[in-house]
Amino acid sequence: MNLGRYQSRGVSSKKEDIHQAILKIDKGLYPSAFCKVVEDHLGRDPNYCNVMHADGAGTKSSLAYLYFRETDDLSVFEGIAQDAIVMNLDDLLCVGIYDHILLSSTIGRNAKCISGEIIKTLIEGNEKFVRELSKTGINLVTTGGETADVGDLVRTLIIDSTVTARWPRDQIITNEDIRPGDIIIGLASYGQTTYEAQYNSGIGSNGLTSARHDLLHSDYSRLFPESHDPDIPQTLAYCGPFRLSDPLNGTPLTIGQALLSPTRTYAPVIKELLIKHRESVSGLIHCSGGGQTKCLRFGKNIHYIKNGLFPIPALFKTIQEVSQTSWREMYEVFNMGHRMEIIGSPELLPVVKAIGNKYQLEVQQIGRCQSSSSGNSLQIESEAGTFEYR
């Protein structure tokens, strides 16, 4: 069986087995919504609903560990704290929730590798990012969390968070309204917005297992064996040409800085859009696990055509060049240039572009929706070729 490089490292972009495991589980009030939405058990109001959602920084925390060991720069863990929050926050955006969110953090560490100083930086990083978000009108409340010493299970560090919100039912984006004739608007994952302190490579928090091993030199396996699974085939473990300090051509970043670019949130843009133009939005999709194929999980009998994608960012080009991963797999694993999709009427495009301009965020129509006679399908027409998915 040809698993592909990603699965051979013990990671799945599609998670078919997980989806099969939850197939018969109740899907909540709106089965097509990006997050599970349930009745208002907190306020007992039939006009409201509750969402509790969990996500995290994934294996990006292992990269932060490597970077810290090589540079002694503790601040790298602030970015990991942001990753864990944004992966949740931007999922909530996809059901229309953008404010008054409760946040709980969970840290699992191997205490032999991860000191109390690192934990302090992570916790303070949470608080710092929440303060920065509040300046853009996005309000999260930190409610504590859990730090567990699980050294016989976790080799270095795992950072997760859980968010909870109560929201009016009539303001929920259910993704049930995605229809033929809608356009797909992409929000760029790279560059530098007004609310970011530095240039962002666009990596987000998905595909880091492949990115880390495909780019970084085998020296990292020898120097820091605790940073990866020893059962990964030697040909797939730290098999790249780069050190973390090497420059990433075409950007102002090093390889390490590019891989650790904190996950960008789209909350300020989506909040403004939903407040003013909620009725024109058919669906919202966060291109996280599954990359550009994430849309296949939403809508009914929709043929997604993505033929206006952003230029492939330098980091993804470099990953593909050094690993020779197929472009088809690259689009399944990475966001490849945009991490948020707004689906709706054509009239939305100038509106979203105007909002994006305020934040120096690149916005463009990346595709359209057509009717499909046999379930959902996707066609990507890109500079790397044409690919079809179901």
pTM for this entry: 0.93
Q: What is the pLDDT of residue 14?
A: 57
Question: Where on the phi/psi map is residue 59: left (φ > 0), alpha (ψ -120 to 50), or beta?
Answer: alpha
- On whether the CB atoms of residues 68 and 77 are closer than 8 A, the answer is yes
With contact defined as beta carbons under 8 Å apart, do 273 and 352 qualify? yes
Which pLDDT value is given to residue 3?
55
State which residues of the chain have pLDDT below 50.
1-2, 13
Asked if 142 and 106 count as a contact pair (C-beta separation under 8 A), the reply is no
- Enumerate long-range contacts of 33-42, CB under 8 Å, 24 or more apart: 33/94, 33/95, 33/172, 33/173, 33/174, 33/175, 34/91, 34/94, 34/95, 34/173, 34/175, 34/284, 34/285, 34/286, 34/298, 35/91, 35/92, 35/94, 35/95, 37/95, 37/172, 37/174, 40/166, 42/166
What is the SS3 assignment for 267?
A: helix
User: What pLDDT score was predicted for residue 213?
Assistant: 96
SS3 342: strand
pLDDT given for residue 17 in this prediction? 72
Q: Which two tokens stand for residue 348?
A: 């939305």
- pLDDT tens-digit readout, 113-150: 999 999 999 999 999 999 999 999 999 999 999 999 99
Pairing of strands 101-109, 140-149: parallel
Superfamily of domain 4-389: PurM-like C-terminal domain (3.90.650.10)
Residue 118's Cβ-count burial label (10 Å; 0-12, 13-18, 19+) is buried
Integer-rounded Cα radius of gyration of the chain: 20
User: What pLDDT does residue 24 have?
Assistant: 74
DSSP labels, 288-338 = -TTGGGGGGGSSSSEEEEE-SPPPPPHHHHHHHHHH---HHHHHHHS-TTE
pLDDT of residue 21: 74
For 32, phi then psi, to 5°, come to -90, -5
Return the pLDDT at 1. Answer: 32
**pLDDT at 11 (0 to 100):** 62
Choose among 287, 313, 260, 244: nearest CA to 83: 260
DSSP 216: B
Q: Write out pLDDT tens, residues 332-350.
A: 999 999 999 999 999 999 9
